[in-house]
């Protein structure tokens, strides 16, 4: 395997699926429970996204490695067992070695077990694919999830408190204090956006925006094809 | 003598070779057993399915056990650091020369409505004399759930400091009980059961002296009531604690 493998057509499709076409949040509308619970700020969204991504990569790898061993009749209990064990490991390690982050995310890490996306990827992808594509799929789906979490968290944080990436230095270390911004000074705050209903409303806008962009893209692609056909017809006429 | 040790090394070498051979044979067997085609025959068998499930459960249990073993000490240390940081916020450093975490007294608190059957009281001592005490307690009836509070009291029962450690109150409304969000908890400093009457230990809406928040009355009301119960708990055990 070389680095070029990751840029070949099937891998590009996995990346495109995870990041945009089949995005966990924006297209599949899965994982809404952790999504609405933690995206009060962009920083929390980022932390939860990264933790979920780590679990997804590990669970995809574990499921792919043992896919021949696992009989289809008992695959779901085994997947759940693997995912629960991995999440508990992440929880323990974060608590021991990244304690400040664990204090921020602690409540939400056990929620990763209930994140249907991880089981979904194990079932739909990793149980049928070799190791490398499975890990790549976990990485890309996780990255797509993280991106959606950060964007939603940022939108809610700006509208509810006027800040962006508050407390990021707790999550990423003192070196990242510069990304903590106060965008709207003296902002009175808009409480609704900090509460779960605000998350739903903002998520609705994001899903709508993605649909709109997709529509534009297909339309312009069709126009291009139309254009090509016209040119062909013209050239045929000339011939 | 020499020949004897020679034969010993030879036999050891033979043993080692045999072990290697066995290992190789075992690996070959395992490789054959793990062939996808062989596993495909096994998969429908009930015994195999039970075995695989048990195997994965065992593997997960071993992994978790090892991780717990490796991190238990570190996590304990982190929790103690957290507690230490909390206690330092409510007991000024100049009031004690002992280790707060080491000098403790466990008192029964089932009747005091502090959220636990037993409360650990940390004693601050200077030259062996108790100068202040600190303990954690819970307001079990917060608006959205229990509110964990740590309090520091002087010998006479005056409040040195109060901090809310954790809570699940509404963000933007009830979370002003946090020191990071508002200076409200500082309004308890210096208050005691002596300089305020029982009726004054309440939010202004209930005829007391403490502010409530716009849009959130229940959270501060319950915090004030819990702190008053904490003070009463101290008064009930004051003599016992000061003689330590």
Same domain? B38 vs B105: no
Query: Which residues in chain A have their CB less than 8 angstroms from residue B78's CB?
Result: 95-96, 99
Is the Cβ–Cβ distance between A202 and A193 less than 8 Å?
yes
Same domain? B129 vs B215: yes
Same domain? B172 vs B226: yes
Q: Is A199 a domain residue?
A: yes
Residue for token pair 């089932």 = B110
Q: Is B82 a domain residue?
A: no
Domain assignment of residue A15, given as a range? 11-238
Query: Which residues in chain B have their CB less than 8 angstroms from residue A189's CB?
Result: 172
The minimal CB distance from B60 to the residues A70, A81, A195 is found for A81
Q: Specify the pLDDT at position B229.
A: 93
Q: Is B83 a domain residue?
A: no
Same domain? B21 vs B119: no
Q: Is A163 a domain residue?
A: yes
Closest-CA distance, A99 to chain B, in angstroms, reads 7
Same domain? B8 vs B125: no
Q: Is B237 a domain residue?
A: yes
- At which of B75, B110, B130 does a domain end? B75
Q: What is the ipTM of this complex?
A: 0.78
Q: Is B155 a domain residue?
A: yes
Q: Specify the pLDDT at position A133.
A: 93
Q: Is A4 a domain residue?
A: no
Same domain? B233 vs B162: yes
Interface of A with B in 55-94 (CB under 8 A): 66, 68-74, 77-78, 81-82, 84-85, 88-89, 92-93
Same domain? B65 vs B100: no
Query: Which residues in chain B have their CB less than 8 angstroms from residue A99's CB?
Result: 78, 81-82
Q: pLDDT of chain A along its 239 residues, tens only?
A: 567 777 888 888 888 888 888 888 888 888 887 788 788 888 888 888 888 999 999 999 999 999 988 998 899 999 999 999 999 998 898 888 888 778 777 767 887 887 888 999 999 999 999 999 999 999 999 999 999 999 999 999 888 878 888 777 777 777 777 878 888 777 777 878 888 888 999 999 999 999 999 999 888 888 877 776 666 666 665 54
- At which of B75, B106, B122 does a domain end? B75
Residues in chain B whose beta carbon is closer than 8 A to a beta carbon of chain A? 34, 36, 39-40, 43-44, 48-49, 52-53, 56-57, 60, 63-64, 67-68, 71, 74-75, 78, 81-82, 170-173
Looking at the 3D structure of chain B, how many domains does it have? 2
Q: Strand, coil or helix: what is A48?
A: helix
Interface of A with B in 156-175 (CB under 8 A): 160
Q: Is B17 a domain residue?
A: yes
Same domain? B149 vs B45: no
The minimal CB distance from A85 to the residues B39, B64, B171 is found for B64
Q: What are phi and psi of B121, to 5 degrees?
A: -105, 125
Q: Specify the pLDDT at position B97.
A: 87
Report chain A's terminal Cα–Cα distance, integer Å. 48
Domain assignment of residue B67, given as a range? 2-75
Q: Is B89 a domain residue?
A: no
Same domain? B227 vs B143: yes
- At which of B43, B75, B107 does a domain end? B75
Query: Which residues in chain A have their CB less than 8 angstroms from residue B172's CB?
Result: 160, 189, 191, 194-195
Measured CA to CA, the distance from residue B64 to residue A83 in angstroms comes to 12
Q: Please give the DSSP secondary-structure letter assigned to residue A195.
A: S
The minimal CB distance from B52 to the residues A40, A71, A195 is found for A71
Query: Which residues in chain A have their CB less than 8 angstroms from residue B43's CB?
Result: 71-72
**Which ranges of chain B have pLDDT less than 70?**
1-7, 171-172
Query: Which residues in chain B have their CB less than 8 angstroms from residue A97's CB?
Result: 71, 74
Q: How many residues does chain A have?
A: 239
Which tokens sit at B208? 């007391």
Q: Tell me the per-residue pLDDT of B97-152, one tens digit each, with 9 for 90 and over.
A: 888 888 888 888 888 888 888 889 999 988 888 899 999 999 998 888 899 999 99
Q: Is A64 a domain residue?
A: yes
Looking at the 3D structure of chain A, how many domains does it have? 1
Same domain? B98 vs B186: yes
Per DSSP, helices labelled H in chain A are: 9-16, 32-38, 42-65, 75-97, 99-105, 116-121, 131-161, 168-172, 191-194, 196-238
Same domain? B224 vs B103: yes
Q: Is A128 a domain residue?
A: yes
Q: Specify the pLDDT at position B215.
A: 74
Q: Specify the pLDDT at position B225.
A: 93
């Amino acid at each position: 395997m070389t680095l070029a493998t990751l840029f070949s057509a099937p891998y590009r499709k996995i990346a495109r699926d995870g990041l945009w076409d089949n995005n966990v949040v924006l297209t599949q509308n899965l994982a809404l429970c952790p999504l609405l619970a933690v995206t009060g700020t962009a920083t929390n969204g980022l932390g939860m996204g990264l933790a979920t991504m780590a679990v997804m990569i590990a669970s995809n790898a574990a499921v792919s490695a043992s896919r021949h061993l696992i009989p289809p009749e008992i695959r779901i209990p085994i997947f759940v067992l693997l995912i629960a064990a991995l999440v508990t490991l992440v929880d323990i390690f974060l608590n021991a070695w990244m304690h400040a982050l664990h204090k921020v995310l602690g409540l939400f890490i056990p929620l990763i077990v209930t994140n249907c996306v991880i089981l979904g990827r194990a079932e739909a992808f990793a149980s049928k694919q070799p190791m490398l594509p499975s890990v790549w799929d976990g990485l890309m789906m996780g990255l797509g999830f993280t991106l959606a979490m950060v964007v939603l968290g940022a939108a809610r944080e700006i509208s509810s408190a006027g800040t962006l990436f508050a407390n990021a230095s707790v999550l990423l270390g003192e070196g990242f204090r510069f990304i903590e911004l106060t965008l709207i000074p003296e902002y009175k705050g808009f409480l609704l956006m900090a509460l779960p209903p605000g998350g739903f409303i903002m998520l609705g806008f994001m899903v709508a925006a993605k649909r709109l962009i997709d529509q534009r893209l297909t339309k312009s692609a069709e126009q291009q094809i139309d254009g090509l056909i016209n040119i062909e017809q013209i050239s045929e006429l000339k011939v | 003598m020499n020949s004897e040790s020679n034969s010993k090394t030879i036999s050891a070498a033979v043993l080692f070779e045999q072990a290697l051979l066995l290992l190789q044979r075992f690996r070959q067997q395992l490789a054959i057993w793990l062939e996808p085609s062989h596993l495909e025959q096994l998969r429908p068998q009930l015994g195999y399915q039970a075995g695989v499930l048990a195997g994965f459960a065992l593997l997960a249990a071993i992994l978790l056990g090892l991780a717990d073993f490796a991190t238990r000490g570190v996590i304990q240390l982190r929790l103690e650091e957290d507690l230490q940081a909390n206690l330092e916020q409510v007991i000024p450093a100049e009031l004690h020369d002992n280790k707060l975490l080491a000098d403790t007294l466990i008192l029964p608190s089932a009747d005091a409505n502090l959220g636990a059957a037993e409360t650990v009281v940390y004693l601050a001592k200077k030259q062996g004399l108790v100068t202040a005490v600190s303990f954690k307690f819970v307001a079990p009836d917060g608006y959205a759930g229990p509110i964990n509070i740590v309090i520091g009291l002087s010998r006479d029962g005056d409040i040195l400091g109060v901090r809310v450690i954790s809570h699940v109150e509404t963000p933007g409304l009830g979370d002003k009980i946090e020191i990071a969000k508002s200076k409200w908890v500082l309004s308890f400093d210096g208050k005691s059961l002596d300089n305020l009457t029982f009726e004054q230990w309440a939010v202004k809406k209930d005829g007391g002296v403490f502010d409530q928040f716009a849009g959130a009355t229940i959270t501060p009301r319950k915090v004030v009531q819990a702190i008053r119960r904490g003070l009463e708990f101290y008064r009930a055990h004051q003599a016992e604690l000061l003689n330590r």
